[in-house]
Amino acid sequence: MPLVDTLSEDARWDALGLPDLAESAARATLDHLGLPPETCEIALLACDDARIADLNAEFRDKPGPTNVLSWPAEELAPDADGGAPIQPTPPLPGMALELGDIAIAYDTCAREAAEQAKPLADHVTHLVVHGCLHLLGYDHIRPKDAARMEGLEVEILAKLGLPDPYGEHGA
């Protein structure tokens, strides 16, 4: 059973091979954090800007599209800025640990990748890692939390053979 259950609402994702890319990114994230990927489950919605704009408005009260959104199954964020998130509650025997849902928008991802002169697959891999970290209680609102999360993203992406997304071109 795959770690990431991908639902594609936009055929443009098919050419990128998103299910395999997302599976690799999510596995690398969980492995890096010491969580067994084979016991976890993530739902990924691959959509377009119109759909993610609706979700962004509904759940974040922000108009317009964004690149990635996430909905953790559990609130794992630390109280202190820069603190370690709480570990997810272990699942019942024989059950998957549901980490939550991620939505990713093709139009915004493709535009950002072009603006940053990066391969789309590399940018999307970064955003899936980013979304997975959000599911696990990491965030980038407070300064120390942002530094911790970005540091993890750089480490995980390096293990996947990808450059620092916060380097020359920024995120």
Given a contact cutoff of 8 angstroms between Cβ atoms, the answer to whether 12 and 47 are in contact is no
Q: What pLDDT is stored for residue 94 in this prediction? A: 87
Annotated binding residue 123: no
Q: What pLDDT is stored for residue 171 in this prediction? A: 55
User: What letter would DSSP give residue 22?
Assistant: H
Annotated binding residue 140: yes
Distance CA 73, CA 44 (A): 13
**Mean pLDDT in consecutive groups of 10 residues from the start of the chain, 171 residues:** 93 96 98 95 98 97 97 96 93 92 98 97 98 97 96 98 81 55
**pTM for this model (two decimals):** 0.95
Q: Can you give the residue ranges of every domain in the chain?
A: 4-159
Annotated binding residue 134: yes
Of the CATH numbers 3.40.390.30, 3.20.20.390, 3.20.20.70, 3.40.605.10, which one belongs to the domain with range 4-159? 3.40.390.30
Q: Burial of 84 by CB count in 10 Å (0-12 exposed, 13-18 middle, 19+ buried)?
A: exposed
